[in-house]
Amino acid sequence: MLFSFFKPVVLAVLLIALAGCGVAPVLPSAGQVSGAQLQGREWVASYIDGIAAVTAPAPRLRWTAADQLSGSGGCNAFMGRAVVEQGALQLGPLAATGKACMTAPQGQEDRFFKALEATRSVRLQDGHLLLEDATGRVLARLTPGTTAP
């Protein structure tokens, strides 16, 4: 009898505790996204400017807040402002480290940073994050990585 009284109380406490955990919001499988939906999620490049064979270490990015982005081009780290509103993306200014990496000119990291500079919109398609230019051309396709708490 006493257990039946406490059962709803225990369930309510568990639900409240779980609601406080930093679980990232569920993303729709396709369509426009917001910065808040992207927050805490890491995305790993699988396609950059026409080249699908991304080599390790792959460029990646993560929304650290609804309007803040950080990541890596594969060698150099970057961070800065990234505002997403109704699919439109406003990046910048971005700051990057200046490591002396052994990368080829016009290599993967250069292509990734140029793709970021030219990105004007983001959207989801089949679980991938697409970075697109002003004409809707896909500049980069990123696959889900880890989700931070």
pLDDT at 73: 93
Cβ contact 112:140 at 8 Å: yes
pLDDT at 147: 65
pLDDT at 71: 96
User: Which of 91, 89, 85 has the alpha carbon at shortest distance from 71?
Assistant: 91
pLDDT in tens, the chain (149 residues): 444 443 433 333 333 333 334 444 445 545 788 888 899 989 999 999 989 878 889 999 999 999 999 999 999 999 999 999 888 999 888 899 988 877 666 789 999 999 999 999 999 999 999 999 999 999 999 999 976 65
pLDDT at 61: 95
User: Which of 71, 94, 97 has the alpha carbon at shortest distance from 82?
Assistant: 94
pLDDT at 33: 84
Per-residue burial over 61-73, b if 16 or more Cβ lie within 10 Å, else e, is bbbeeebebbbbb
Beta bridge partners of residue 48, listed in sequence order? 51, 140
Domain boundaries along the sequence of the chain = 24-147
Euclidean distance between CA atoms 114 and 107, whole angstroms? 11
pTM: 0.76
Q: What is the 3-state secondary structure (H, E, C) of 16-53?
A: HHHHCCCCCCCCCCCECCCHHHHECEEEEEEEECCECC
CATH number for the domain formed by residue range(s) 24-147: 2.40.128.270
Cβ contact 62:148 at 8 Å: yes
